Amino acid sequence: MPLHLPPAVDLREVGLRDGLQLEAPLPTATKLEILDAVVATGVRRVEVTSFVSPTAVPALADAEQVVAELGRWPGVAFSALVAGFGGARRAVAAGLPHLEYVVSASDGHSRANARRTSDEAVAATRDIAALAHDAGGRCEAIIAVAWDCPFDGPTPVARTVDVARRAVDLGADQLCLGDTIGSTVPGRVVELVDAVRDACPGVDVGVHLHNSRGAGLACVLAAVQVGVTSIDAAVGGLGGCPFAPGASGNIATEEVVHMLEGSGVRTGLDLDRVLAAAAVVERAVGHGLPSNLHRAGGAARPITPAG
C-alpha cells in the first residue's frame, strides 16, 4: 500500500523574505548573491522580499533596490509580500506586480502584524488585487495564523475558511495557508486544506509551514498526499515572524527536496545546489541555520537509494 503522492510539486523559495526579515539587515549585494545561489537550485518561484514598513522590518528596507535587479534572472517567477495597500503600491511602482497579500485569520495577529482587524484586512483585498491585476500581475492571499494564533489561540476552521472565501470573492487569484507559529499537525493540515478547497473550488491552495514543533516536514507530507503542490520553504530553514511570539524556522528547502525526491516526487530542484545555497545563507547571516540536513553537514549527506 504505497503513499498517495503527486508526481511533482512546485516549491516556492521564501528565504529571501521570511528567512531574512528577522535578521540584521544585509547589504543588497549580499542578498543578490543569495538570490544567485537560490536561482541556481532550479527553483522557479521566489518570494524575493516584502514591501512593508522599513521601521518595522529594517532587514527588508531595500525592497525597491532588490526588485530593480531581478532582470538578471529571467524565467523565474518573482513575487513580493505586502501587508496593505501602501506596500502593494510600492511593489507595483517598483515593477513587481505579483503580490502575496498577507491577511491574518485572527484579530490578535492582525492587530500586531497590520494594526487592524482581520475583517479590515480582508476587505483591503479588493483594492490590492485590483492594483495587481491592473498592472498585469497576480494577487495571492496568504492567510496567516490559519491554524493557530499566538494571541487568540486556535483559529476555528470555519473562520479560516471564511477568510479564504472572502479573499477569493474580493479578487485573490490563489490562496496559501500559513502556519505562522509552526503549531499545526498533519491531521489538521488535511482538515483545513479540504475545507478551504471545498469553499473555494478551482482556486489553488498552497501551504506555508514552519517547523517550530518539529512536524513541518510531516505536514508537507500530509499536504502533498491530498494533492497540495504549492509549497513554501526557505533554504537552510531560516525564518520566523517578527509579530508572532514563538514562531521559528521555516521548513528547510533542502529537507523538503530530500524527502520528496527520495519518495518519488519531483521538485525540479537540485539538492546539492540547495545545500550550497544554504551555505551561502549561513555565511551571509553569520550564524547557524535550523535545518538538520544542513547542520549535519558532510557526514549526513543524502544517500541515494539503490532502487
Q: Which is nearer to a second copy, 100 or 179 (CB)?
A: 179
Instruction: Determine, following the binding rule CB under 8 A, whether residue 299 of this chain makes contact with a second copy.
Output: yes
Nearer to a second copy, 171 or 290 (CB): 290
Of 254, 256, 268, 261, residue with least CA distance to 301: 254
Q: Which stretch binds a second copy (CB under 8 A): 13-21, 68-76, 135-143, 295-303?
A: 295-303
The alpha carbon of 89 is separated from its chain's Cα centroid by a whole number of angstroms, namely 21
Sole binder of a second copy in the list 62, 107, 191, 270 (CB under 8 A): 191
| CA separation for the pair 20, 280 (Å, rounded) | 13
Does residue 153 bind a second copy (CB under 8 A)? Answer: yes
| The one segment of 32-40, 44-52, 87-95, 179-187 that binds a second copy by CB under 8 A | 179-187
The answer to whether 71 touches 95, Cβ cutoff 8 Å, is no
Q: Closest distance between a second copy and the C-beta of residue 109, in Å?
A: 13
Q: Is residue 226 close enough to count as binding a second copy by CB under 8 A?
A: yes
Three cell numbers, residue 35: 538570490
Q: Does 7 bind a second copy (CB under 8 A)?
A: no
Single out the residue of 27, 54, 58, 187 in contact with a second copy (rule: CB under 8 A): 187
Judged by CB under 8 A, does residue 263 bind a second copy?
yes
Residues 235, 194: Cα–Cα separation, whole Å: 28
Q: Is 245 in the site for a second copy (CB under 8 A)?
A: yes
Report the candidate in 95, 102, 43 with the shortest Cα–Cα distance to residue 73: 43
Question: Could you tell me the smallest distance in angstroms from the CB atom of residue 181 to a second copy?
Answer: 7
Q: Exactly one of 24, 262, 266, 283 binds a second copy (CB under 8 A); which one?
A: 262
Decide if 149 is catalytic.
no
Counting contacts by CB under 8 A, is residue 185 touching a second copy?
yes
CA–CA dist 238, 14 (Å, integer): 9
Beta carbon nearer to a second copy, 54 or 156:
156
Using rule CB under 8 A, residue 288 touches a second copy: no
Stretch that binds a second copy, among 9-17, 43-51, 110-118, 245-253 (CB under 8 A): 245-253
Read off φ and ψ for residue 48, nearest 5 degrees.
-95, -25
Smallest distance, a second copy to C-beta of residue 224, A:
10
- Say if strands 148-149 and 153-154 run parallel, antiparallel, or are unpaired: antiparallel
According to CB under 8 A, which one of 41, 113, 212, 250 is a site residue for a second copy? 212
Residues whose CB is less than 8 angstroms from the CB of residue 220 and which lie 6 or more positions away in sequence, other chains included: 207, 209, 231, 251, 256, 259, 260
Q: Is 302 in the site for a second copy (CB under 8 A)?
A: yes
Rule CB under 8 A: say whether 220 interacts with a second copy.
Answer: yes
Q: How far apart are CA 11 and CA 13, in angstroms?
A: 6
Residues carrying an active site annotation:
241
Binding site for a second copy (CB under 8 A): 1-3, 5, 147-148, 150, 153-157, 181-188, 190-191, 194, 211-215, 217-218, 220-222, 225-226, 237, 245-246, 248, 252, 255, 258-260, 262-265, 290-293, 296, 299-307
